[in-house]
Amino acid sequence: MAEFIQTSDNEPNQIVLPFGKGTVNPSSNSASTVLSFSSSTIVSSSSTTTTIGDSVTFDIFETNDGNVPLTFPTVTSDSPLCNPIFVNGDKNNDGILDPYEQWYFTCDVKSTIAGIFEIVLTGFGIAPDGTLVTWPEDPDERIIGTVEVIRDLDSPRMLKQTAVDELSTITINERDGQNKISNAKKAILQSLNDRFWHDDYTLTEHGENVFDYEKKAVRELFKVKSVDVSDIIEILVDVDKTLAQLVIDSVPVDKSDKIVDRLIEKANREMEKAQEHLDDGEPDDAIYHYKKAWMYAQKALDLVMDY
């Protein structure tokens, strides 16, 4: 969490944020400065770094330090990644930010691509005379939080790259075995085509190709006898299991929607069949059923999104 520091009697208050520093001059009671993030304000983020698909939560406390009430108090962000939502703080439930009342907002920052994103927060309210109060008035003084979104090394897509890297370290004198490893690497690399991936965790409508290439790679590796590649096969199978399960878990449970419910039931049955093939030492057949599970779940998700 952020901490408040009183630097001295003659210096402005300073809020030390997890993502940087900003200073806030003590507010006056004039309408133009009646809205501020006060010395009791905490603006914090749960982290400054997150991975693709995960979230960073910003906690924002908006305080009226003036002597007049403010209607329609809001906090906005210039980034589409952050949409501040009111949580609580309106003590008398009148929709008005009364003097010395503090409202709590939160927003979750989530990205499907890697990069560094700035979140600029601005407070607003309307004074009794109709004046739109903005804090801070100077855009250069508005609170800026920086979130770095990185690729998760344990994401399905990155794990596939890890499998390729591990295969690249294997040297086999026996030509047939080396060809099979080369063919497996080629199939995995084909499965990493950007056309098949929304992000490191989710596939596009062409995602079934990922499973097909993965199955081809596993079949090639399963024939390699001169070196142990079972760990790499396990990585590839786990990736496909994860891709299917992520879509299944993302479909909201709604027993009133029989079509969606049936599709998820089919997906779960395919997951069970996949496990049965794994138990029987048939990883390539398991991948086939993970593919079917993904397809059923993706169809259910598409139906939900269309409603």
Q: Mind listing the pLDDT tens digit of every residue in the chain (307 residues)?
A: 222 222 233 333 222 222 222 222 222 222 223 333 332 334 555 556 777 667 778 888 888 877 888 899 888 887 777 888 899 999 999 999 988 888 888 888 776 566 777 778 888 888 888 888 887 777 776 666 777 776 565 789 989 999 999 999 998 888 888 999 999 999 999 999 999 999 888 999 999 999 999 999 999 999 998 899 999 999 999 999 999 998 998 888 766 688 999 999 999 999 999 999 999 999 999 999 999 999 999 999 998 877 6
For residue 216, give Cα distances in angstroms to 186, 190, 296: 10, 11, 21
Under CATH, which number does the domain 3-150 receive?
A: 2.60.40.10
pTM of the model: 0.56
Q: Compute the 3-state secondary structure of the chain and give helix, strand, coil in percent, each to the nearest 5.
A: 40, 25, 35
The count of C-alpha atoms lying within 13 angstroms of the C-alpha of 304, restricted to the half-sphere facing its C-beta, is: 23
